[in-house]
Amino acid sequence: MEINVLEKTPLKLRLYIKDIPLHVLNSIRRVMIAEVPTMAIDSVVFTMNSSVFYDEYIAHRLGLVPLTSEKALEKYKLPEECREAADRGLFTEDCFVKLDLEGKGSEEGLVTLYSGDLKSSDPDVRPVYDKIPIVLLANNQEIRLEAYARLGRGKEHAKWSPVSVAAHKYVPLIHVREEICKGEECKKCIEVCPKDIFELKNGKLAIKQDKILDCSLCRICEEACPYNAIKINWKENEYVLTIESTGALPPKKILLEAIKILENKIDDFMESLKKEGVVK
Amino acid sequence: MMIPVRCFTCGAPIGHLWEEFKKRVEAGENPGKVLDDLGVKRYCCRRMFLSHVEISCEVLNFPKVS
């Protein structure tokens, strides 16, 4: 297996992976979306709300705010253990982080409360972005609430998913038969390509090598070519994996965590097979 | 209502970018250019900004009945 890093920023990771079966890559991708735990607000207790917004509306907005979760993964109990505690109203410290929000409207104009105004009981778990507006308050309006965050998984609610994008795509193989292609006389494929991949070089049709991965295999160029000179295909067992984080976890951590979870799942499966006597 | 915290389609957080977007567009900049600057790439996230009407600031000032 060969892996190249195409792009790496704090929120995005793009990998070119060779010699990996598609179903393995897809399993990892799906685990990243649905199984990697992150922190998010799950229960909100309102002690005062005289704003024009419903409690539910504010609670929903709070739930969607991404919280930093890298250290929380080791510190707090897993979602399966904490889920029932919240239903019974037990906000224990090994499961929940408390975040307080308080604010009052002023006479001078509208007051906006931001995610940065949330006061967390654990400095390792706080909003990733400080400028997300939560509520607007006019004069004589007041809000006081306690929000409780816990670990959860994307399969329970999308707010716990650490990724906004986790996708893989094929690597395109664009084949131009030069003996048929009319080059400068035609140019139909150049005009029609939505990703702007073709160009003319010395009167001949050429492919922009730095843009080849942008190709979405839409095959409009194939159809547009009056001489059938273009053939689009894809490489076997080569893929581009894109991960875009919501900020809760760094993309590298998401990938490693996903692989760990997938491994555990397979181990569990093997164990069950042994227990049932299917394998020895 | 208020600007959504996340994009409806892909789930990327966008709420924190709204105030800068609003300020710069009101100052006369091209909305598309501002979105490029803010790193909002996909069209699902871009329409969240372009189609948003901030109605809550106005509704807020009416007297509450209950």
Is A280 a residue whose pLDDT tops 80?
no
Joined together, the tokens standing for residue B45 give 């996230």
Split at pLDDT 50, 70, 90, the class of B59 is: confident
Split at pLDDT 50, 70, 90, the class of B3 is: very high
Amino acid identity, residue A193?
Answer: C
Asked if B59's CB is within 8 angstroms of A131's CB, the reply is no
What gap in Å lies between CA A201 and CA A208, rounded to an integer? 10
pTM for this one? Answer: 0.89
Asked if B12's CB is within 8 angstroms of A244's CB, the reply is yes
- Chain A touched by B32 (CB under 8 Å): no
Look up the CATH number of the domain holding residue A123.
2.170.120.12
DSSP secondary-structure letter at B64? P
Helix (H, G, I), strand (E, B) or coil at B34: helix
Q: Once rounded to an integer, what is the mean pLDDT over residues A24-31?
A: 96
Please report whether residue A194 resides in a domain: yes
Is B63 a residue whose pLDDT tops 80?
no
pLDDT in tens, A203-213: 888 899 889 99
Chain B positions in Cβ-Cβ contact with residue A246 (cut-off 8 Å): 6, 11-13
Asked if A129's CB is within 8 angstroms of B57's CB, the reply is no
pLDDT in tens, A85-99: 877 878 888 899 999
Among the partner-chain residues A50, A57, A129, the one whose CB lies closest to the CB of B13 is: A129
Contact of A132 with A65, CB cutoff 8 Å: yes
Please report whether residue A256 resides in a domain: no
Joined together, the tokens standing for residue A19 give 């010699």
Other C-beta atoms lying within 10 Å of the C-beta of residue B6: 22
For domain B1-66, say whether CATH 1.10.10.60 is its number. yes
Split into its structural domains, chain A has a count of 2
- Chain B touched by A167 (CB under 8 Å): no
- Chain B touched by A55 (CB under 8 Å): no
Please report whether residue A29 resides in a domain: yes
Please report whether residue A249 resides in a domain: no
Q: Looking at residue B65, what is its pLDDT?
A: 73
Q: Once rounded to an integer, what is the mean pLDDT over residues B19-40?
A: 95
Quote the domain boundaries for residue A114. Answer: 38-160
Asked if A132's CB is within 8 angstroms of B15's CB, the reply is yes
Q: Once rounded to an integer, what is the mean pLDDT over residues A166-175?
A: 94
Mean pLDDT of chain A: 93
Q: Looking at residue A62, what is its pLDDT?
A: 96
Please report whether residue A52 resides in a domain: yes
Joined together, the tokens standing for residue A23 give 């179903």
Split at pLDDT 50, 70, 90, the class of A126 is: very high
